[in-house]
Amino acid sequence: MRILFINPNATASMTDKIAAAAKLAAGAGTEILALTNHDGPASIQGEADGEAAVPGLLKLIADNEAEADAFVIACFDDTGLARARTLTRKPVYGIGEAAMREAAQLGRFSVVTTLAVSIPVIAANVLAYGFAETCARVRASDVAVLDLEEDGSAAREKVAAEIARALHEDRPNAIVLGCAGMADLADTYARRFGLPVLDGVVAAVRLAERQYGAGD
């Protein structure tokens, strides 16, 4: 199986991080491919950035139709997901939906994302996917997306602090990391806080493999 991850933003280092996390999660028979939308914004923070990313994202899917058995949109906002699904008969997954589906199997979950501007888009997706009763809250950690790409920044500890607040205030069974730029942090936070911390990149690999194996 070939899964093509598309990073809707133009930051190649984030694409590399996404691909690395996906490859670690993939089974022996799965090949991971990854592309960067160089026509998109440097990061996606809110609805306007998402809309700016969509044309390039859709073009990458259309141009690579024959290259993959499934596509994954690697932005937690699931940028352009509905429109992407109209372009191809291949499955198209969003990392936001994949992570929420996996988290809902564990009970109540909280989403910890980057900036507050991202909350309305994610909250709307929570409702659209049917997780209003399962998602305790969508929370912002006041971290800019690109800060997660900088070694030595305070971004990781800010996210950790928001996870700690979520555990105290929301009492969730799981935490969902609400940004593809956090793809390398889930295991670290799970060990630190002692509960499942889910990343959408890994969740999307699992979902795509499961549905491919089932012939869906």
- Sequence-ordered list of residues with C-beta below 8 angstroms from that of 163, at least 6 positions apart, any chain: 112, 175, 189, 193, 197
Q: What is the H or E stretch that residue 165 is in?
A: helix 155-170
Domain-by-domain residue ranges, the chain?
2-94+202-214, 97-200
Phi, psi of 197 (to 5 degrees): -120, 115
* Type of residue found at 138: V
Question: What does CATH list as the number for 2-94+202-214?
Answer: 3.40.50.12500
Residue 210 has pLDDT above 70, yes or no: yes
- Sequence-ordered list of residues with C-beta below 8 angstroms from that of 175, at least 6 positions apart, any chain: 109, 110, 111, 112, 163, 166, 167, 189, 193, 195, 196, 197, 198
Averaged over 193-205, what is the pLDDT?
98
Specify the pairing of strand 109-113 against strand 70-73. unpaired
At residue 127, the 3 state secondary structure works out as helix
Give me the CATH topology for the region 97-200: Rossmann fold (3.40.50)
Averaged over 42-48, what is the pLDDT?
94
Residue 216 has pLDDT above 70, yes or no: no
> pLDDT digit string (tens) for 111-128?
999 999 999 999 999 999
Averaged over 35-45, what is the pLDDT?
96
pLDDT bracket for residue 15 (50, 70, 90): very high
Calculate what percentage of the chain has a pLDDT beyond 90. Answer: 96
> pLDDT digit string (tens) for 65-110?
999 999 999 999 999 999 999 999 999 999 999 999 999 999 999 9
pLDDT of residue 155: 94
Please report where in the chains the tokens 């899917």 appear, as a residue. 61
Describe the strand order of the beta sheet including 135-140 as a list of residue ranges. 135-140, 109-113, 174-177, 197-199
Q: Is this structure's pTM higher than 0.85?
A: yes
Residue 215 has pLDDT above 60, yes or no: no
**Cα–Cα distance for residue pair 207/158, rounded to 1 Å:** 29
Same fold, 2-94+202-214 and 97-200: yes
pLDDT of residue 24: 96
Adjacent-strand bridge partners of 86: none
At residue 51, the 3 state secondary structure works out as helix
> pLDDT digit string (tens) for 132-177?
999 999 999 999 999 998 887 899 999 999 999 999 999 999 999 9
pLDDT of residue 29: 93
Averaged over 41-65, what is the pLDDT?
96
